[in-house]
Amino acid sequence: MDFSLSSEQLEFRKIVADLVEKEIKPYAAEMDREGGIRPELIKKLGDTGLLNLIVPEESGGPGLDGMTIGIIYEELGKGCAGVATSVAANSLATYPVLLRGTEEQKKYHFNLLNEGKFAAFALTEPNAGSDAGSVATGAVKDGSHYILNGTKTFITNGGIAEVYLVFANTRKSAGIRGLTAFIVPKGTPGFSFGKKEDKMGIRASTTCELILDNVRLPESSRLGREGEGFRIAMNTLDAARPFVGAVSVGLAQSALDMAVKYSKERRQFGQPIASFQLVQAMLADMSMRVEAARLLVFKACWLRDQGVEFSREAAIAKCYASDTAMEVTTNALQIMGGYGYSKEYPAEKYMRDAKIMQIYEGTNQIQRLVIANKLIY
């Protein structure tokens, strides 16, 4: 077992850490307030090669392994979990194409990402969240085309993405067996954007409703076979969950660093609050949780790279790391007292940002079901 990082991984980490210090942290509060990523930053994310991380080398991308991507997402999470979410959604929306795309589909999708464009993964609907099998968006065959009708909700990068991985049902009332994936370019007639969510946290990332009104797609837009969508979606979520864990670890690390610094500076009863053992105990527990979460995330990323079954470990990493982010950000705010609660410091943003990590890409209740299923069956 080797816990050291390769020189390439260290180099990537440094590049992203520099970007975070110069281009993300100074603007994180502004992006949180305004709701959206600064256009200058979008360009820099593309130029730095962060929007096409999983595009293979032969297709013009860096083709990075999961471990290196995990390291990169942890760094982004340290700067702004909203920005990290938008970037990570690109991997989420690209994995299905990597998995089942034809050469033509890969070329189209990967080229957009290589040009620094955003992509989106659209599974959730108003009445289909945890229960993905109840997707109501229909895809009806019409000669050599499909006609799609329905609404997708809570879609990260909705509106700002150039391409959408949309899951629709090709066999009405067949549940998960009817789920089929489609590649839908922005601008396709009948495809529009609805309500933009006004969110509690990760406000730099855009979350939007998608409306499909008689969207006519050629058969060549279908990804994989009819009815293969559920498997594609689940494999994709398995592959992406360690990355939610990685962003959570970065977020928790930033909150911990801030709490340590503050506790050494803030004086009460004539001494720094860091000298109080109750505060020290909180810091020690926070540090233990962050370290354990990081190791679980690394293990899940490593297993992902070995090409072995890792659903349980992916769920463990996502669940533990996001619970850690929630606990550590809450305690960081507690250590900072009233100042933590004020917008003067990023503590309250960290806490607001952490909450979504326990909800998206499968709630932590669903992760616990995945883990328990693997233990029992």
Q: Catalytic residue numbers? A: 361
Nearest to 55 by CA among 5, 29, 20, 90: 90
Query: Residue 286: how many CB atoms within 10 A of its CB?
Result: 24
Q: Which two tokens stand for residue 6?
A: 């390769």
- Provide the CB-side half-sphere exposure for 135 (13 A, CA): 31
- What residue type is assigned to position 264 of the chain? K
Query: According to the binding rule CB under 6 A, does residue 122 interact with ligand FAD?
Result: yes
Query: According to the binding rule CB under 6 A, does residue 121 interact with ligand FAD?
Result: yes
- What residue type is assigned to position 289 of the chain? R
Minimal distance in Å, beta carbon 359 to ligand FAD? 6
Print the binding letters for residues 74-113 with ligand FAD: x by CB under 6 A, - otherwise.
---------------x------------------------
| Sign of the torsion angle spanned by Cα atoms 14, 18, 24, 26 | positive
Query: Applying CB under 6 A, which part among 45-53, 133-141, 265-273, 356-364 lies near ligand FAD?
Result: 356-364
3-state SS class at 182: strand
- What residue type is assigned to position 190 of the chain? G
Identity of the residue, 78 or 199, whose beta carbon is nearer to ligand FAD in the bound complex:
199
Among 60, 129, 138, 194, binds ligand FAD (CB under 6 A): 129
Helix-, strand-, coil-residue percentages of the chain, each rounded to 5: 60, 15, 25
Q: Which two tokens stand for residue 350?
A: 């960290």
Among 118, 154, 262, 298, binds ligand FAD (CB under 6 A): 154
Closest chain position to ligand FAD (CB): 129
CA 241, 201, 237 angle in degrees (round to 5)? 15
How many amino acids of this chain bind ligand FAD (CB under 6 A)? 22
Among 68, 124, 221, 263, binds ligand FAD (CB under 6 A): 124
Identity of the residue, 273 or 315, whose beta carbon is nearer to ligand FAD in the bound complex:
315
Residues of span 177-236 touching ligand FAD by CB under 6 A: 199, 202, 207
Query: Residue 102: how many CB atoms within 10 A of its CB?
Result: 13
* Separation of alpha carbons 110 and 57, rounded Å: 11
Among 76, 166, 356, 357, binds ligand FAD (CB under 6 A): 356
Among 254, 362, 370, 371, binds ligand FAD (CB under 6 A): 362
Minimal distance in Å, beta carbon 204 to ligand FAD? 11
* Separation of alpha carbons 42 and 86, rounded Å: 10
Identity of the residue, 12 or 350, whose beta carbon is nearer to ligand FAD in the bound complex:
350
Minimal distance in Å, beta carbon 335 to ligand FAD? 27
Q: Which residues bind ligand FAD (CB under 6 A)?
A: 89, 121-124, 129-130, 154-156, 199, 202, 207, 356, 359-363, 365-366, 369
